[in-house]
Amino acid sequence: MRAGGPIRVGAVSDCLFCRMVAGDVPADVVHQTDRVFAFRDINPQAPTHVLVIPKEHHPTVAALAAADPGLLGAVVGAAQTVAVQEGLVGDDGVEPGYRVVTNTGPQAGQTVHHVHLHLLGGRRLSWPPG
């Protein structure tokens, strides 16, 4: 067996986030279930900046929605779980609040081609985004 455990179904060997899920690349994990994985961004843009991903490899949010809408729902639900954990929302589930962003394609700045939600919060976030 490999050091990182068995090769996961759906994993892409040259994908950074698949390698983090497999344990081959270290991650500051804040939450995980059997299907989703959440870890702190290495270059945080806000006091809380967590990346929430499906453990299975899908390149974009639209690809994930098409392949497995339930898994997309689980990823969004995990973002809310982390937001509660990080104190970004209270009992109402809304305030003070947070932002979820997912970039698709080069013009939006997608650099890792394993779908990820950026969960941002802990400061006032301006709009429109840059």
Task: Quote the tokens at residue 10.
Answer: 């759906």
Binding range to ligand 5GP, per CB under 6 A, among 40-48, 64-72, 81-89, 120-128: 40-48
C-alpha pair distances (Å), 123 with each of 19, 38, 83, 126:
31, 20, 13, 9
**Spatial distance between the Cα atoms of 79 and 87, rounded to a whole number of angstroms:** 12
Of 37, 39, 64, 88, which lies in the binding site for ligand 5GP, with binding defined by CB under 6 A?
Answer: 39
Residue 116 designated active-site? yes
Binding range to ligand 5GP, per CB under 6 A, among 56-64, 67-75, 92-100, 110-118: 110-118
Task: Quote the tokens at residue 67.
Answer: 């392949």
Question: Which residues, 6 or more positions from 29, have their beta carbon under 8 angstroms from its beta carbon?
Answer: 37, 38, 39
> Pick from ligand 5GP, Zn ion, none: which does 114 bind, CB < 5 to 8 A by kind?
Zn ion
Q: How far is the CB of 64 from ligand 5GP (least distance, A)?
A: 14
Does 23 interact with ligand 5GP (rule: CB under 6 A)? no
